[in-house]
């Protein structure tokens, strides 16, 4: 499985703002969107293009546009929702699927509670959004949900990754391209990423 660490200076600067415990909800939400937009730019580098004719005000020209059906953006609820609007700014014609998974506090295993995907998902590139790749249980389950609906091309965008999460994605879904902005060294006893940035959903939605 290809893992890409997006270490662009702008992303690393913004990630430090997210890590800061004193960053409030308004700023946190804004910066998550900014990072998501920069990640989208990086992760869509290899989208296929097709050549088309276009009339400029001066003369006929050849241009290139994204080939085929537009991608489907798939936030894993709840925290993934914080990245959606940023991607839609760059890919306004994208479809949006939703996958609802929560981590059972006892078993720490993912439990599905909602799922809605477009019927033609097999013909679209899926951009799966889950800001925190901790144990990898949720992201792996979400990728499996998409595959069960026929998805064949999946990119996973996580702001932060961890070694166990990356290992799990590698063994469960070697075909999924994973993009992270940083890999933190460990998880605590509640499966939070250390040092991490806390609970991404709570910090995006102000429920802490």
CB nearer to ligand URA: give 76 or 126.
76
CB nearer to ligand URA: give 71 or 80.
80
200 binds ligand URA (CB under 6 A): yes
71 binds ligand URA (CB under 6 A): no
Q: How far is the CB of 46 from ligand URA (least distance, A)?
A: 28
Neighbouring-strand partners of residue 66: 49
Binding segment for ligand URA (CB under 6 A), chosen from 70-78, 121-129, 140-148, 197-205, is 197-205
- Between CA 111 and CA 131 the distance in angstroms is 18
193 binds ligand URA (CB under 6 A): yes
Cα distances from 72 to residues 54, 92, 117, 133, in angstroms, run 26, 11, 9, 20
199 binds ligand URA (CB under 6 A): yes
Total chain residues near ligand URA (CB under 6 A): 9
Please, which of residues 117-176 interact with ligand URA by CB under 6 A? Answer: 132, 134
196 binds ligand URA (CB under 6 A): yes
- Between CA 82 and CA 165 the distance in angstroms is 20
CB nearer to ligand URA: give 71 or 196.
196
CB nearer to ligand URA: give 71 or 82.
82
- Between CA 205 and CA 128 the distance in angstroms is 19
- Between CA 73 and CA 142 the distance in angstroms is 12
Please, which of residues 77-96 interact with ligand URA by CB under 6 A? Answer: 79
- Between CA 78 and CA 113 the distance in angstroms is 11
Which of 108, 85, 111 lies closest to 96, judged by CA? 85
Residue 88 CB coordination number (10 Å): 15
Q: Which residues form the interface with ligand URA (CB under 6 A)?
A: 79, 132, 134, 192-193, 196, 199-201
């Amino acid at each position: 499985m290809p893992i890409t660490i997006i270490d662009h200076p702008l992303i690393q600067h913004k990630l430090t703002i997210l890590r800061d415990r004193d960053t409030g909800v308004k700023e946190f939400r804004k910066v998550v969107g900014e990072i998501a937009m920069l990640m989208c730019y990086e992760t869509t580098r290899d989208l296929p293009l097709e050549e088309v004719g276009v009339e400029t005000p001066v003369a006929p020209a050849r241009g290139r546009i994204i080939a085929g059906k537009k991608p489907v953006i798939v936030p894993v609820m709840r925290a993934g929702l914080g990245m959606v609007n940023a991607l839609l700014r760059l890919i306004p014609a994208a479809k949006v699927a939703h996958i609802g998974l929560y981590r059972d506090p006892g078993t720490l295993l993912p439990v599905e509670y909602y799922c809605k995907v477009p019927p033609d998902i097999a013909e679209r590139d899926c951009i799966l959004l889950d800001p925190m790749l901790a144990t990898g249980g949720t992201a792996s389950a979400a990728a499996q949900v998409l595959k069960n609906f026929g998805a064949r091309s999946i990119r996973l965008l996580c702001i932060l990754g961890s070694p166990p999460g990356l290992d799990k994605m590698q063994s469960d879904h070697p075909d999924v391209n994973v993009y992270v902005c940083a890999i933190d060294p460990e998880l605590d006893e509640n499966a939070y990423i250390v040092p991490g940035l806390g609970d991404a959903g709570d910090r995006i939605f102000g429920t802490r």
